[in-house]
Amino acid sequence: MKYLALSTLLFISSARDQNQWLNASQMSDKAMETGDVLYMVGALQRCVALQSLFGALVEKRAGEQEAGQTYGMMAHRNFANAYQINSMKEKSRGAGVSTVESFVEATIVVMEEASNQYGTLITENQARDGDLIGRVIEVDLKTCTALYEGMLK
């Protein structure tokens, strides 16, 4: 697991170093284009960050506790899905059973970066339009919901 967590972090760092931060829908599209499941893991990790952040904002600003909890539930499920995909990828590489701890460490790094990126978008959207949701966040929320619903089947 340490190997895959490290490769995931290197994959993420190289994209960030090239100033090409990809949001959830872009990562999902890359997964479909390339067949590389690490892009899907990245998309799901970004979904965890966005859904957690957005759920907290909906609860705090709109007082919609049920909607906030729904986003939280979807984030939890998307984390579990990312972990499952990551574990299958690791096994296909001949590694042993993956550890949750290593995956959590890698996911925290991604979530911090994604939360900062999404937080900046939300702040910019609110300043410009008076709304939390701009085009990127709207598309990513739809993508994350679709990934959640698609993986329930």
pLDDT digits (tens, 9 = 90+) for 55-80: 998 888 777 888 889 999 999 999 99
Kindly give, in sequence order, each residue whose CB lies less than 8 Å from that of residue 13, ignoring residues fewer than 6 positions away.
none
Alpha-carbon gap, residue 32 to 22, rounded angstroms: 14
pLDDT at 47: 95
Percent of the chain past pLDDT 90, that is, above it, reads 37
Rounded CA separation 149/77 (Å): 10
CA 69 to chain centre: 17
What is the model's pTM? 0.79
66 vs 151, higher pLDDT: 66
Mean pLDDT of 42-61: 90
Residues 22 and 120 sit within 8 Å (Cβ to Cβ): no
From CA 153, how far away is CA 148, in angstroms rounded? 9
Give the model confidence (pLDDT) of 115-144 as tens digits. Answer: 889 889 888 988 998 887 888 899 999 999
